[in-house]
A and B are shown apart, each in its own frame.
Chain A
Amino acid sequence: MTVNEIKERLSLTILGGQKGLNNQVSGGYVSDLLSDVMGNADAAQVWITLQTHKNVMAIASLKDLAAVILINNHQPDEDMLGQSNEEGIPVLATSLSAFEVTGKLYELLK
């Protein structure tokens, strides 16, 4: 499944990194601790978080993640969006909580 299909199915808003909408998604990882993501997330996963600063994109890029979903209408810092566009890693937003959006994404991907 692509990031774009997930965006459509979960009614997510795309905020940046449109170039990566065709990235393939293999699964997801939910965490607000950056070292946890660094240590345990895998390539092609979607990262669900409330962190909104530029380092999120540094990690997403280093780990070859497919996309980042910001929960509870959190808005990214400007330099986070800048790097999202540069790297082509989509940043998507939802009004749902981490619990809700994770449940829906899990249903889609299982």
Chain B
Amino acid sequence: MHFEYQIEGGNFTRAGFASSEIKKMMKQLNVDMGVIKRTVVSTYEAEVNVVAHAFSGTIYVDLDEEKIVIQLQDQGPGIPDIDQAMKEGFSTASSAVREMGFGAGMGLPNIKRNADDFQITSEVNKGTNVKITMFFNK
């Protein structure tokens, strides 16, 4: 199965929509609750990153009997130093975003901790690609 969701940069009222749809889909397929929980954390954080930092983005979801692969491609400023961005507590979020309780520099570490496989590539002034893979029988 293949699904796509659009993400609008800056629009926090829709943040979490795709994660919620993915959660519902996995529940219907009776995927283990622990796997669903980790998928939700990873996907939500990745989704919020696009809303908080990019202009727009697309989530591509591919699902089969063994795994779900969630790819987020955004058009945005990109990340100049990924190692630095991966550090707990490091954030470039605006003060408005921080006031909402986002931008604590916990998003990418949360994804890494919860995803079975996590890959991130980025090009400055172009955008960032995040790929999250979750296996159902682990």
Contacts and interface: CB of A to CB of B under 8 A. Distances in A.
A68 B15 CA distance: 19
Interface in A38-86: 38-39, 43, 49, 51, 53-55, 58-59, 61-63, 79
Given A33-B101, A34-B101, 9 more contacts: A33-B104, A34-B102, A35-B45, A36-B106, A38-B110, A39-B106, A39-B110, A49-B101, A62-B16
Interface of B: 12-13, 15-17, 19-20, 23, 37, 40-41, 44-45, 48, 100-102, 104, 106-107, 110, 113-114
Nearest to B40: A62
A54 B20 contact: no
Contacts of A79: 13
B44 A62 contact: yes
Contacts of A100: none
Does more than half of chain B's interface fall in helix, strand or loop, or is it mixed?
A: helix
B100 A53 contact: yes
Contacts of B41: 38-39
Nearest to A64: B37
Contact of B100 (A38, A39, A55): A55
22 contacts: A32-B101, A33-B104, A33-B106, A34-B48, A35-B45, A35-B102, A35-B110, A36-B106, A39-B114, A49-B101, A51-B100, A51-B101, A55-B12, A55-B15, A55-B16, A55-B100, A55-B101, A58-B16, A58-B17, A59-B44, A61-B20, A79-B13
A53 B12 CA distance: 10
Contacts of A51: 100-101
Contacts of A63: 37, 40
Does more than half of chain A's interface fall in helix, strand or loop, or is it mixed?
A: helix
Nearest to A37: B101
Q: Which 7 A-B pairs have the closest CB atoms?
A: A58-B16, A35-B106, A34-B101, A39-B110, A33-B104, A51-B101, A62-B40
Contacts of A34: 48, 100-102, 104
A35 B113 CA distance: 13
A47 B45 CA distance: 18
Best-surrounded residue of A32, A35, A43 (most CB of chain B within 10 A): A35
Contacts of B19: 58, 62
